[in-house]
Amino acid sequence: MSDKDEFMGYDRGGDVKGDDPLGLRRRSRGKKRAPGFTAEPDFQFEYKDPQQLKHFITERGKIMPRRITGLSAKQQRALTLAVKRARNIALLPYTAVK
């Protein structure tokens, strides 16, 4: 290890778990959980029910991603389709209300 590495704070040997002098590790954001009503086996998103769909839309009007909602890929595709249909018939806004 050179003097420059020591100066920059790099440690090339025996890192202690949890020791991250440069702050390069990602922080965990907690465990993602799907809403309880989506766990039912016969659950389907209804585009006619905007109150149900509002749980999955940000305040700006965007559809939340899977990594945040905790839905499966199949459920996320059904959600996207339902939201787009609801927007098309004006049950949900395309953008945030200003």
Task: Give the pLDDT of residue 9.
Answer: 56
Rounded Cα gap, residues 62 and 83, in angstroms: 10
Domain extent for 66: 30-88
> Looking at the 3D structure of the chain, how many domains does it have?
1
Task: Give the pLDDT of residue 70.
Answer: 87
Rounded Cα gap, residues 65 and 44, in angstroms: 18
Q: Give a yes or no: residue 6 inside a domain.
A: no
Rounded Cα gap, residues 57 and 27, in angstroms: 24
pLDDT surpasses 70 at 66:
yes
Task: Give the pLDDT of residue 17.
Answer: 57
Kindly indicate the confidence band of residue 85, based on its pLDDT and cuts at 50, 70 and 90.
very high
pLDDT tens-digit map of 19-47: 666 666 666 666 666 677 777 778 899 99
Q: Give a yes or no: residue 94 inside a domain.
A: no
Q: Give a yes or no: residue 69 inside a domain.
A: yes
pLDDT surpasses 60 at 14:
no
Higher pLDDT, 59 or 30: 59
75 token code pair: 């459920």
pLDDT surpasses 90 at 87:
yes
